[in-house]
Chain A
């Protein structure tokens, strides 16, 4: 059986620099940072006191008090992004066979906040006082379960947890499910709400976070010589990925086609990437081949670009390995310079960026790019977005545990659209 084709027909984004797809795109194409001082908890004792908070998200606007008690923040973000994506897609769920609708999300940490809160209860008051909702609130698959319950999605339901690559792996696995006919429509993406006192302290202890506390908006500076670590952030993105014929039959607006996926492991270290970048390059090579393309066809790369010394160096080497001479001219940007690093949501938010870049024919910038690093010689689209006739985009995500994911998106021809 020929593989089916998968297209993106709806987007929902909650990011530190934008709430909703249009607000987010205006910020991202406009070079607006969403990074600030942390307000979620007291950071007096922390080496890092900055992050990307999803300030546009107001829980009471979306859930009643009973729901808020039962759904952790990470899943709330996913549910709301799911509602946005569905509305954006114009899909009438009631008109579909529910068994052909699925949900496949990524989350690195699950319900970290409630987990921490219940640990306090346990140690202060003992086993009899631990809230029974801890079980369904903390579970990483709470997000896909809540989305499925809300919309009646009775097909495949999965959550992948591969740290910072979770959202990207979710997109790639969704491509396979659509290609093989396991579902016609999948709500896919990633979520994370990592700004919790103990989890954040652990990231501080790892010494991977920027400590540029006095200049939050300038702290995430991927590929810049003076980068000093990543900036943690919370957020979510849900993409409605639909089998092409299904989308065409209902006259859906198509942002882009999801055309390729590659995944590899460095089998190297729990935290450090292999400095050669060979395993990351292998994932990119697989995604390009899966798209039926060659490196010369790639018009834009949304980099993992975390702003750590180790990632940006290894990723630059991977890009050089794949693109050779062209490595210094193929446009590469890290939108984490504006959103910060949303961990399990990053690959999904950046998939949305790729779809929007292809749809709008504008490549978003890497902001805070001031001092070139000779070890990262790339065209990072410094500081200002760039119009471009882009047909093929790659999205890179690499995670702790040396896991790599790369997805490829192709512009969908305009004559196939209704808008």
Chain B
């Protein structure tokens, strides 16, 4: 279930944020490497929440700086949802 998280995030980044396909790697930084500003960061979280049907708190958003952080946030939320 969690195997397809990275491809789904990659699709959001390439479709909605003009990020090149091969640039989407776990250690890629959202602000520095993709040049997303703070408002785009909020949009990205919106897109993520919608894609996975989860909610990420403002405090959690502050900890997200890389693609890997996005994947991990989605994985944790999906796991929490499955347990509930």
Contacts and interface: CB of A to CB of B under 8 A. Distances in A.
B18 A129 contact: no
Given A132-B39, A133-B39, A66 B46 contact: no
Contacts of B79: none
Contacts of A69: 16
Nearest to B16: A69
Contacts of A133: 39, 43
Q: Is the interface of B mostly helix, strand, loop or mixed?
A: helix
A199 interface: no
B18 A64 contact: yes
B42 A66 contact: no
B17 interface: yes
B18 A66 contact: yes
A131 B17 contact: no
A64 to B, nearest CB: 7
Contacts, number: 15
Interface in A111-136: 128-129, 131-133, 136
Interface string B1-44: 00000000000000011100000000000000000000100110
Contacts of A128: 55
Interface string A47-66: 00000000000000000111
Q: Is the interface of A mostly helix, strand, loop or mixed?
A: helix
Nearest to A64: B18
Contacts of A65: 18
Nearest to B17: A66
A101 to B, nearest CB: 25
A118 to B, nearest CB: 12
A132 B42 contact: yes
Interface of A: 64-66, 69, 128-129, 131-133, 136
15 contacts: A64-B18, A65-B18, A66-B17, A66-B18, A69-B16, A128-B55, A129-B46, A131-B43, A131-B46, A132-B39, A132-B42, A132-B43, A133-B39, A133-B43, A136-B39
Contacts of B42: 132
A69 B18 CA distance: 11
A64 B16 CA distance: 12
A240 to B, nearest CB: 30
Given A69-B16, A132-B43, A136-B39, 12 more contacts: A64-B18, A65-B18, A66-B17, A66-B18, A128-B55, A129-B46, A131-B43, A131-B46, A132-B39, A132-B42, A133-B39, A133-B43
Contacts of A64: 18
A23 to B, nearest CB: 31
Most chain-A Cβ atoms within 10 A of its Cβ — which of B16, B42, B46?
B46
Contacts of B46: 129, 131
Nearest to B50: A129
A132 B39 CA distance: 6
A131 B16 CA distance: 14
Contacts of A131: 43, 46
A129 B18 CA distance: 22
Contacts of B16: 69
Nearest to A125: B50
Nearest to B15: A65
A136 B55 CA distance: 25
A175 to B, nearest CB: 36
A149 B52 CA distance: 36
> Which 9 A-B residue pairings sit nearest by Cβ, starting from the closest?
A132-B42, A132-B39, A66-B18, A133-B39, A65-B18, A129-B46, A131-B43, A132-B43, A64-B18
B46 to A, nearest CB: 7
A69 to B, nearest CB: 8
Nearest to A129: B46
Contacts of B39: 132-133, 136
A218 to B, nearest CB: 44
A65 B18 CA distance: 8
Nearest to B18: A66
A76 B11 CA distance: 27
